[in-house]
Amino acid sequence: MFHALAIFFNQFVVHPILNLLIFVYAILPGHNFGLALILFTIIIRLLLWPLVKKQLHQTKAMRKLQPEITKIKKATKGNRQKESLMLMELYKERGINPLGTFPTLIVQLVVLIGLYSGLQKVIKNPHTLVSSAYPVLQQHLGWLTQLSHNIKQFDNTLFGLIDLNRPAFGPHGFYLGAFLLVAGSAFAQFYQAKQLLPAAKDKRSLRSILKDAGAGKAADQSEVNAAVSQKTIYILPAVVFLFTVNLPAALSLYWLAGGIVAFIQQSIVLNKDEKEMETMGGKPSRDVAAIPEAEVVSELPVAVKPVKNVKHKKGNKRRKK
């Protein structure tokens, strides 16, 4: 089963991704592999743009909903059932799917794994550029024919300055060029994640929340989530750094270029006017008090009257009419 999945992944993910990279590299004047990898990254990000744009609009909408979500959490006073119903009503009004960002993240992860697998093959054996190319590329791209006769023409550097085969820390010791790419990719990940965080007012640190919880004060889940998100923007860059520091610099270059392009894409979407959000299918939300479940919460204590009684009352009114 696992072997069959590996063959499927190699055939339908790794090979297409690698051939796109081979195509860009072969038609590029100068045939510099580092520049080809940067252009390849831009192409991949542009191909993913429809998914990324949808994901970012969802993120933008969630950021705008934070004040209303906070009001709902305060109004429900810990009643999870009412809180969930009111949040779902709010999401429905805005046309938001809280899980809508996962497909884009999965696609990006698959591309990253496929590219990593392809780059590993090229780094171990540069002849892979020729042997793994589709026949149509071998027939129409003269540069691949030249490489098949003399593989030493393969320029596996970034503008002749950084050897993309070498890691920052490897058998040959510390390599500054690769380390700069690793550090750059970690910084790009940090600013990319920071850009997506909602600008919450009066936010408290996780340490402060845990301290109050230890003193017997109940912690608000939204505050906990916001504090964890703040910590995550430091954790993800650290993971990227540790993951790539011992890998060939080519992967760090891909991550750095992808992070810069993603930051630009996020800036384009997140800085646009709210009217564009409405044209994408989102609906302007009503005030929290206008949500049906909110009427009950505002009139009566949360524990007194469950939501199911509201439906019963509405049913009685209809009968009287």
pLDDT, tens digit, 9 for 90 and up, residues 30-52: 999 999 999 999 998 888 888 77
* Confidence grade of residue 320 (pLDDT, cut at 50, 70, 90): very low
Report the amino acid identity of residue 121.
K
Mean pLDDT of the 126-154 span: 90
For the chain, strand residue ranges (E) read 157-158, 162-163, 169-170, 173-174
Across residues 242-259, what is the average pLDDT?
A: 90
218 vs 284, more confident:
218
pLDDT surpassing 60 at residue 183: yes
The Cα–Cα gap between 259 and 240 comes to 11
Question: What is the predicted pLDDT for the residue at 233?
Answer: 79
Written as one string, the DSSP assignment of 167-207 is -SEETTEE-HHHHHHHHHHHHHHHHHHHHHS---TT---HH
Angle between helices 15-27 and 33-47 in degrees, nearest 10: 130
What percentage of residues in the chain have a pLDDT greater than 90?
24
What is the DSSP secondary structure assignment for residue 152, as one 8-state letter?
A: G
Query: Per-residue pLDDT for 98 more than 70?
Result: no
